[in-house]
Amino acid sequence: MGEETVIVTGCSSGIGLETALFLAERGFRVTATMRDLARGEILRSEAERRRVQMETLRLDITDAQSIRRAVDTVLERSGEIFGLVNNAGINIRGFFEDLSQEEMRRVFEVNVFGTMAVSRSVLPSMRSKGRGRIVLISSVGGRLPALGSSAYCASKFSLEGFGQTLAQEVSPFGIRVSVVEPGLVHTELFGRNRILAGRALDPAGPYREWFLNLEAFTDRMVNSPATTPRDVAQAVFRALRAKRPKLHYLVGRRTRVLVALRRFLPEELFDRVWMREAQRRIQRTAGQSHRARR
């Protein structure tokens, strides 16, 4: 392959930023996109440090006009879009009852409908060329439930179904679809981009103490991650470069172990053990917090 053109969404930080840089280092012609170009300084600085070149464009995946402008610009410059990496996404943390319908809808608008809209916009060009790669950045949360992440997990479960169906529909046109599924990765979703449900910290809420313990446990996990943005970028690279890319790319040892357990254990047994273990860890965190306050 020559210098293939690839669009990556959500490149202002985290997985998108590292993926854009990683692909550019390996010969792809990368267009790194983000909703707010003012937040692209880290990307530009890191690209200069690594001595790679890439183009940056504004692309809000919830804005049809923004999508159309960005895709048209890339096509005018390059004549073809070989790959699309759908990375942009959000998470609103909170138990389901503490999430408003508007908050739930916002997560789906970005993670599901935004991803669908960008994918739809590149398909005509890929079909006309008889080739292309679409990569969806999902999560192990698209296969396994997680306390306090009902909006996120529901959107990622939906993304899994979309990716698998799209793969069947576009395969006859030479287009391949891959779903990348990392576990916990320390990104800005757990930092400055962390969003809490409006009622998650309500003192009168029935889930408040559980949620506080869950946040403490999650922080401890993401601050010593087994999976990094670079691990995810490597999986994306394999999906773009492989002659016969896989439909699923699990990223991280923990993720692979959990998915294997779910595959081989009886479904009801796994679900029972998984729920019990999740609750046990939160309760243990609560006990540790109580002892620390004494």
Q: Mind telling me the catalytic residues?
A: 152
Contact 134, 166 (CB under 8 A): yes
Question: DSSP secondary structure string, 190-210?
Answer: GTTT-EE-TTTT-TT-TTHHH
**How many residues make up the chain in this entry?**
294
Residue 92: DSSP 8-state: E
227 vs 260: CA distance, rounded Å: 17
For residue 263, give every residue at least 6 positions away whose Cβ sits within 8 Å of its Cβ, in sequence order, or none: none
The residue whose two tokens read 């994918």 is 119
Half-sphere exposure for 182 (CA within 13 Å, toward CB): 22
